[in-house]
Structure 1
Amino acid sequence: MSKQTGRRHVAGLTAWDRCAVMGVVNVTPDSFSDGGRWFDTTAAIKHGLDLVAEGADLIDVGGESTRPGASRVDEDEELRRVVPVVRGLASEGVTLSVDTMRARVAEQSLAAGAALVNDVSGGLADDRMIPVVAERGAPFVVMHWRGYLEGGNVRGTYRDVVTEVVDELRARVEALLEGGIAPDRIVVDPGLGFSKDAGHDLELLARLDRLRSLGHPLLVAASRKRFLGRVLAGPGGAPPPARERDAATAAVSALAAHAGAWAVRVHEVRATADAVRVARAIEGAGAPAPGTTVTGPDGAR
C-alpha cells in the first residue's frame, strides 16, 4: 500500500508505486471508441505491444462491445477473437487482463496467459464466472452493473448515486468472497457510463474516496466516455467524437491517480502515462522525508 495515498495493490500482480495504466485492445468491429481498428489478430497484438511501448503497465483485451445498444456476440466468436491475442501478447511478456462476462472466455484466456479477469457484470452475467476465477486464483475486477445496455435497457435512476453504487458494489464483493475469491485479489470499478448519465459519472469521480472505503483497489475506466463529451461540449454544444476526448481522459486519469486509484483504463496511453507519473511525483514531493518532523510556521507540531 502506498504510504502517500493508501493506494492498495493487487495480489498476484506487480506492485506499482503509482497508479497503473491499463491499455485497451478492443478486438471488435463495433466498439464505441475504436471499433474495427484492431479486429485482425495480428493488428491487435501489434497494437497491444505499441501501447506497452507508450507506457501501459498492463493490457485489457476484449472481444465484445459493451456500448449502449450493442448486441451480444456469440461465445465461440468471442473466444476466436480474444484467445489468440491473449496468447500472442503473453508470449511477449505482457501483463494481461481479459475483458469478458463469460466464464469460458475467462477460463481459456487465463490458460493462454492472462493474469486478471475484468468482468463488467461483476460475475452476474454468468454464474460460472466466480467459481472459475476462484479456482484459478486470479484477480478479479468487479464493476457496478445494473444489466445489459442492449435495447435501451439503461436503468439509470438513483436517489443518491454514490451511496447506491457503493452499496451495490459491497454486495457484489461479499458474493465474491463467499464464492472463494481472496479479498486481496478483488478490484472494484464504479462502472462509469453503465446505467449512468454524465451527472452520475461526475459525482462518482468527485467521491472516489467513498469507493476506496470498500477496502479494495480501485479501477477507474473513464476513457473517451460520453460524459467527457458532454463536459467538453458545454451547454447546447455537440460532443466531440470519442477519439477527440483523450486530453480530457488524461485529466481524469491524473485526478484518479491523485485520489488513490489502483489503475486507470484508457485507449490512448501516452498522455495518461505522463499524467499518472506527474501525479506520483507530486505525491512524493508533498510527503515528508523519512525521519523529519513536520511543524507549523510557529514551530508547533
Structure 2
Amino acid sequence: MTLICGNKTLDLSRPAVMGIVNITPDSFSDGGQLCVGEKVDLDKTLQTVESMLADGADIIDIGGESTRPGASPVTTQQELDRVLPVVQAVSARFDALISVDTSTAQVITEASKAGAHLLNDVRALRREGALQAAAATGLPVCLMHMQNQPASMQANPVYTDVVTEVLNFLQQRKQACLDVGIASEQILLDPGFGFGKTLEHNLALSSSLDRFVDTGQSLLLGVSRKTMIGQLINSNIDNRLIGSVTMALLMAQSVAQRRAQIGCSNGIILRVHDVRETVQVLTVWQRTIDFKKEII
C-alpha cells in the first residue's frame, strides 16, 4: 500500500518507522532534551532529525504538546511557537516526510502550510474545528484512542471489553472523517497504548492486533519506552530499549501474519524513540523473510 501524503508518498508494503521528536520541556521520556527552558533549541532539533533520517526513519513526528500521564495542556500559541519553526526548518533542510502530533485546529492548518505531510492526533480530531481543519488540508490522518485526557487518563482506567470498546471508538471516529470527505485510505488507526489503559488493557490490545488489521485501515502503533514496557521487564525509563524494540517486532510480525491470512494491503507504522535499533531489528526480520521466499 502507498499512503499519499501531500506531495510525498509512503510505502507501507513493509513496516515504516516514525521517529519521535518531542519539542516540549515535559514529555515523559525525552522532555526538555530539545529545549532550553520553554524555548526550542532549533539547532539541536535539526541534528536529531538528521540523525534519525540517517538511521533509517521513514517519518519524523514533531510534537509541541506533552501528552504524558498527568500532563497539563498548552495554549494554542505555545504549540504554534514550538511546532511551526521546526516544521519549516525540517522541510527546508531535509527531504523528509513530516508528521505533526497535534489536536489543535489552528496548528493543523498552519503546520500543513509549513510543510507537514501527515496529521497524528491523540484525541482523534475531537477538539473544536480539528476535523474540518484536517479535511481541508487533504493530508492523511491518524486517529488514536485515549480514555479521558492526559491529566487524568491513568487515574483509574476501566473497560468492560477494552478491545471492542477501542475498536468501536476508532470506527466511530473513522466515520466522522468519512463524513467530512477524508478518504478511507487516508485514515490510520492507533489503539493508544498507555493512554488510559492498564498493563492488562495494553496486553489485551497487543494480543488482538488482528482485529485492528481486519478493519482494513493501516495502523500506527507506539509502545516505545512506555510504562507498559517498564512493567513487563521491571525497568525504569532509561533501560527500556530492548523491551521496546522487542514489542515493536512482535507487533510488526502480528500485523504481517494477519495481512497474509486475509490478503489485505493495509500497513503499519511504528512510532519510536530509538530509530536505529528498531530499523536494525526490522531489517534482520525482513531479510530473513525475503530469503525464505527466495528458496521456496
Give the TM-score, by structure 1 length: 0.87
Secondary structure of 1:218's aligned partner: strand
Partner of 1:107: 109
Q: Residue in 2 aligned with 1:212?
A: 213
Q: Distance in 1 between matches of 2:239 and 2:223?
A: 14
Q: In the TM superposition, what are the counterparts of 1:67-216 in structure 2 within 5 Å? A: 67-91=68-92, 92-124=94-126, 126-151=127-152, 154=155, 156-216=157-217
Specify which of 27, 30, 33 is matched with residue 31 of structure 1. Answer: 27
Aligned to 1:278: 284
Q: Residue 150 of structure 1: SS of its match in structure 2? A: coil
1:242 matched to which residue of 2? 237
Classify the secondary structure of the residue corresponding to 1:145.
Answer: coil
2:264 maps to: none
Q: Within 2, Cα distance between the matches of 1:174 and 1:241?
A: 39
- Which residue is 1:66 aligned to? 67
Shifted more, 115-124 versus 176-185: the winner is 176-185
Residue in 2 aligned with 1:49? 50
Segments of structure 2 that go 5 or more residues without pairing to the other structure are: 36-40, 256-266
Alignment coverage as a number of residue pairs: 276
Pair 1:249–1:152, CA change in 2 (3 A): closer
- Name the structure where strand makes up a greater proportion of residues: 2
- Check if 1:11 corresponds to 2:4: yes
Q: Percent identity?
A: 38
Contact 2:147 2:153 in 1 (8 A): no
1:153 Cα deviation from its structure 2 partner: 6.3
Helix, strand or coil at the partner of 1:21: strand
Aligned partner of residue 103 in structure 2, secondary structure: coil
Rounded Cα–Cα distance in structure 1 between residues aligned with 2:292 and 2:83:
42
The question of 1:258 aligning with 2:253 is answered yes
- Whichever residue aligns with residue 269 of structure 2, its letter is A
1:22 and 2:18 aligned: yes
CA distance in 2 between partners of 1:219 and 1:90 (Å): 22
**1:241 CA displacement:** 2.4
Q: What is the one-letter code of the residue matched to 2:51?
A: D
Distance in 2 separating the partners of 1:36 and 1:148? 22
Q: Secondary structure at the match of 1:44?
A: helix
What is the rounded CA distance, in whole Å, between the counterparts of 2:57 and 2:68 in structure 1? Answer: 23
Structure 1 distance, partners of 2:269, 2:116, is 17
- Deviates most, 15-24 or 185-194: 15-24
User: Is the deviation greater in 43-52 or in 55-64?
Assistant: 43-52
For structure 1, the 5+ residue unaligned runs are: 2-8, 234-239, 293-301
Structure 1 71/269 Cα, relative in aligned 2: closer, same or farther at 3 Å?
same
Cα RMSD after superposing both structures: 1.7
1:156-208 Cα offsets, whole Å, 9 max, x none, are 21121111111111111111111211111000000000010111111111111
Cα contact 2:3–2:12 (8 A) shared by 1: no
CA distance in 2 between partners of 1:74 and 1:268 (Å): 29
Distance 1:159 1:203, change over 3 A: same
Moved more, 10-19 or 91-100: 10-19
1:244 corresponds to which letter in structure 2?
N
- Distance change >3 Å, CA 194–CA 152, structure 1 → 2: closer
For 2:261, the equivalent position in structure 1 comes to none
Asked if structure 1 preserves the Cα contact closer than 8 Å seen for 2:153 and 2:196, the reply is no
| Bigger mean CA offset, 22-31 vs 43-52 | 43-52
- Whole-Å Cα distance in 2 between the matches of residues 151 and 227 of structure 1? 17
- How far off its partner does 1:154 sit? 4.4
